[in-house]
Every structure is written in C-alpha cells, then in structure tokens.
Amino acid sequence: MTQRVKVDVWSDIACPWCFVGKRRFEQGVAALGDGVEVEVEYHSFELAPDTPVDFEGSEVDFLAGHKGMPAAQVEQMLGQMTQVAAGEGLAYDFDALQHTNTRKAHELLHLAKAHGVQPAMKERLLRAYFEQGRHLGRVDELADLAVEVGLDRDVVVRELEAGTYADAVQADVDQAMRYGIGGVPFYVVDGKYGISGAQSPETFAGAIEKAASEQ
C-alpha cells in the first residue's frame, strides 16, 4: 500500500539556497521508490519585503547597499553560491538577475496552487529568476511565465492586479513567524518534523521515510 507524506516548504523565489534545496529534496524523494508518495506544498516567505519592484542596479549593488556589506564580500558570497548551485546542475547568473520584490510572484504561486500547477510554477519561476534574468516583480512577465505551465494569461493578469491572493501570501508569512521560521528553505514533513536549510538528499529521504513509518 502506498503511503502518502505531505511536505510543506517555506521558501522565497529570490532565495539561492531554496533552489539548491529543491534539487536535493527532489533527489531524496526520487530515492524513496514507489512505496511512498510525497505531496509538496510551497508557502510564501519574503526574504526582503521592502525591496522595490524596480531596483536599478545589480544584485551586488542591492546587497551592498541593503546590508552595508563590502562589494567584494558580496561578490565572494555570490561566487561561492554559484559554485554550489552548479554542483546541483543549476546555472545561476547573478549578473543577469533582476532584483525585485517577490510578493506578486508569491501571489502567482497561490494562484497556481488553486489551479493544480504549483510545483511546475515554482520550478519555472526559480529558473526564470536565477538562470534567465527575468523580472518577477512585473505582472506581465509573471503572466508570460504562467502561460508556460498551462495557466490562462487573462486570468493571471486579472487576479494579480486585483491582489486576489495577497491575503493568502500574508497568511503564510504570518504562519512562518508563529513557527519561528527566520531563514529559508524550511521544510515541514507530515506536520511533525522540521528541516532547516538545503540538507542532503539522504536527510530529506530519511525524514520522509520516518514520517511514513509512523503513520
């Protein structure tokens, strides 16, 4: 009999470790075999909610200004992050990356969940942000990406401009605060086990197997 395990993931689109963690999580799930079915639901977390939609400058400029970090230190951080991501088959391009506010992207993820395509939308947005330099703060850009995973463009534009899912995003953010989640990615396995950070595939698989055995 197939056992079903639910994994809730708090993450941001603009989170480099979240995309790395996603790949490692997927590798862990793939190693489980057919006995366990994993349902994943993504929840909103904003790393920098005060980020403007249109920031004129590079990722280095933003972090150096936002955090007061020396540019050389930021460049080192991004360089090492790029190497880590490459180890998971991800081609981060921080030079092309367009730093923006991710609230609308999170609203799109809630819309996608309502239409049964959240996992595909999450993957498409992460690739668009980190590998393709797409602007994820703009409704028209988000709508173009949404069409690629089967959503109706007019519906997406209408719902994002109306802010239909804004409350749902805030509810996730508030829940993270209640849970004490201060950094992402953060995974909750079957409502019982918490996993913080981009852990190894074995760690994810072990937690899921443990949860499944206790059902």
* Site residues (vs another protein, CB under 8 A): 12, 14-18, 47-48, 51, 62-63, 66-67, 69, 73, 76-77, 80-81, 84, 178-186, 188-189, 192-200, 203, 206-207, 210
Total Cβ atoms within 10 A of residue 34: 6
- Please say which residue, 33 or 180, places its beta carbon nearer to another protein: 180
Dihedral (CA of 132, 138, 144, 149) sign: positive
- Please say which residue, 48 or 157, places its beta carbon nearer to another protein: 48
d(CA 146, CA 125): 9
Smallest distance from the beta carbon of 209 to another protein, in angstroms?
11
Smallest distance from the beta carbon of 149 to another protein, in angstroms?
24
Smallest distance from the beta carbon of 153 to another protein, in angstroms?
30
d(CA 48, CA 147): 27
Smallest distance from the beta carbon of 34 to another protein, in angstroms?
23
201 with 28: CB under 8 angstroms? yes
- Please say which residue, 15 or 146, places its beta carbon nearer to another protein: 15
Total Cβ atoms within 10 A of residue 86: 12
Q: List 37's β-bridge partners, or say none.
A: 4
- Please say which residue, 18 or 149, places its beta carbon nearer to another protein: 18
Smallest distance from the beta carbon of 134 to another protein, in angstroms?
19
- Please say which residue, 99 or 124, places its beta carbon nearer to another protein: 99
User: What are the structure tokens assigned to 9, written together?
Assistant: 């993931």
Closest CA to 104 of 156, 56, 67: 156
Whole-number Cα distances in Å, 102 to 80, 125, 135, 183, 205 = 23, 10, 10, 16, 30
Smallest distance from the beta carbon of 104 to another protein, in angstroms?
17
**Residue 145 in 3-state DSSP?**
helix
- Please say which residue, 158 or 179, places its beta carbon nearer to another protein: 179
